[in-house]
Amino acid sequence: MKYLITFTFVMFGSLVTTLLGVSAPKDLSLDKLDVSPDMISSEGKSRIKQHVQIIQDNIANTLTNIQSTKKNVLVIEAEIHDLEELGKEHQNLKTRYLDFLSKANIEFIKNNKALNEIDQFQKRLSKLNNVNQNKARSAEIVEAQTEKMERENWKRESEEKVVRIRELLVGVEKNIQSIEGRKAPLKEQFITWGLRQTEYTKIMDQLTEKKKNAERFITSQNK
């Protein structure tokens, strides 16, 4: 039985990761921002206000870093998702090609078996000595020869299909490996930037609390 297979070759495109840079705060040493109850002079109040400004600057820098890390996490997450979807497409394509390969192999085996049977039939006819018997079976001889030619064509076509499908499978498998290879470092980056985001969020909480304490102290000294 003849059947037509339409081959689709998928080209694997590259994805480019663009990550946003982050900047370190001017001074994240919280020790230097401690406020002493003894700072009640004008100079002390001035120093506290300077500390508050430093904290505010660091809060602004940390907020920028948090926003940058969030964007980086989203960019990496999107690329991982795209690669996973591309991987699924290639896995589906691989499944289809394996199905085509199985059918092509079955077709090849079937035609090869039919050719062997035709050869055996022709050998038996060639051994007949009775001329009348040969004439009587001449139609069978012609039919066998015609079927043999058809089977040989079908066998050749199925062989070509097998070769082509195997080539496509090699290409798909390489793409799958390439996709997995690209996902691994992206997942590492995703974890790294996620940890940085957590770190900056923790720093932001500390700075916010430090600012509140300093402002409360200034308010208490103004009473």
What are the structural domain ranges in the chain?
39-222
Region 190-194 average pLDDT: 94
Lowest mean pLDDT among 40-54, 64-78, 167-181: 40-54
pLDDT band, residue 33 (cuts 50/70/90): very low
Closest CA to 5 of 164, 215, 112: 164
Q: Give the separation between CA 165 and CA 173, rounded to whole angstroms.
A: 12
Is there a contact between 200 and 71 (Cβ–Cβ < 8 Å)?
no
| Percent of the chain surpassing pLDDT 90 | 48
More confident residue, 53 or 127: 53
pTM above 0.85, yes or no: no
Region 181-195 average pLDDT: 95
List the CATH code of the domain at 39-222. Answer: 1.10.287.950
The tens digit of pLDDT for each residue in 153-164 reads: 998 999 999 999
pLDDT of 30 > 70? The answer is: no
Region 7-31 average pLDDT: 42
